[in-house]
C-alpha cells in the first residue's frame, strides 16, 4: 500500500469519526473497495468507558485529536497514549487478554515482560494478531477490557 493510499485512508477514517460524533452514533461500519484484491474495512466504535482512568474524558472516535491544554490551575489528566511506555493498537479490532476464553491472561498488572513478548491479541477481519511488548519492563496499567473494541492508535497498556 502506498503512502498516498495510507494518508487517504486516514483522512477517510477521520471523516467517519466526525460523522459518528455529528450524528450521535455509537458505531459505524464501512467497506471501501479499491480493486479486486484490495479493500479497506473500517469499524468505528465510540466506547462508553475507559478502564483505570479516574476522571475519564469523553469517549473518542477512531481518530483521536488531543484537546487544547487547560489554562486554569486544574491539571488535565495524563494522556496514556503519550506515555513513553505505552503499547498502542496497530489496528482496529477486538481485544483479547488471553489466548482463549477462560485461559489465564497473557499479562497482568505488575507482571515482568520482555520486549517482543505477546501481551494481548487483537482480532481484526477474523485474524488473530498477537501484539508484542514494545519494551522490556513491568506492566503498570492495562487500559482495555477483554472482548471490547479498540481503535487504531489507542493506548492498550503501559510498560515501564
- Residue-wise pLDDT tens digits, 44-97: 776 544 444 444 444 545 454 445 554 444 444 567 767 788 899 999 999 999
Q: Residue 79: what pLDDT? A: 73
Cell 450521535: give the residue: 24
Q: Tell whether 29 and 98 lie within a shared domain.
A: no
Q: Tell whether 18 and 90 lie within a shared domain.
A: no
Cα distance from N-terminal residue to C-terminal residue, the chain? 33
Number of folded domains that form the chain: 2
Q: Residue 104: what pLDDT? A: 92
Q: Tell whether 99 and 154 lie within a shared domain.
A: yes
Which one, of 18, 5, 2, 6, lies nearest residue 90 by Cα? Answer: 6
- Grid coordinates given for 120: 494481548
Q: For residue 95, what is the domain's CATH number?
A: 2.40.50.100
Q: Residue 3: what pLDDT? A: 53
Q: Where are the beta strands (DSSP E) in the chain?
A: 27-35, 38-45, 86-88, 93-96, 112-113, 118-124, 127-132, 137-142, 149-150, 155-159
State phi, psi for 67 to the nearest 5 degrees: -70, 160
Q: Residue 77: what pLDDT? A: 53
Q: Tell whether 1 and 47 lie within a shared domain.
A: yes
Q: Quick check: 149 pLDDT over 90?
A: yes
Tell me: the pLDDT tens digits for 133-143? 989 999 998 99
Q: Tell whether 112 and 36 lie within a shared domain.
A: no
In a domain, 66, yes or no: no
In a domain, 121, yes or no: yes
Q: The domain containing residue 21 runs over which residues? A: 1-52
Q: Tell whether 106 and 155 lie within a shared domain.
A: yes
Residues, the chain = 160
In a domain, 72, yes or no: no
Amino acid at each position: 500500500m502506498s503512502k498516498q493510499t495510507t494518508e487517504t485512508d486516514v483522512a477517510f477514517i477521520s471523516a467517519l469519526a466526525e460523522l459518528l460524533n455529528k450524528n450521535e452514533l455509537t458505531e459505524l461500519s464501512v467497506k471501501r473497495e479499491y480493486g479486486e484484491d484490495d479493500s479497506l474495512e473500517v469499524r468505528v466504535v465510540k466506547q462508553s468507558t475507559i478502564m483505570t482512568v479516574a476522571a475519564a474524558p469523553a469517549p473518542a472516535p477512531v481518530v483521536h485529536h488531543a484537546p487544547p491544554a487547560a489554562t486554569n490551575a486544574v491539571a488535565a489528566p495524563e494522556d496514556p497514549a503519550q506515555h513513553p511506555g505505552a503499547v498502542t493498537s496497530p489496528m482496529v479490532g477486538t481485544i483479547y487478554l488471553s489466548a482463549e476464553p477462560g485461559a489465564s491472561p497473557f499479562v497482568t498488572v505488575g507482571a515482568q515482560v520482555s520486549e517482543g513478548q505477546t501481551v494481548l491479541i487483537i482480532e481484526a477481519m477474523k485474524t488473530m494478531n498477537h501484539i508484542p511488548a514494545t519494551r522490556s519492563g513491568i506492566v503498570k496499567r492495562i487500559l482495555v477490557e477483554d472482548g471490547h473494541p479498540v481503535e487504531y492508535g489507542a493506548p492498550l497498556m503501559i510498560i515501564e
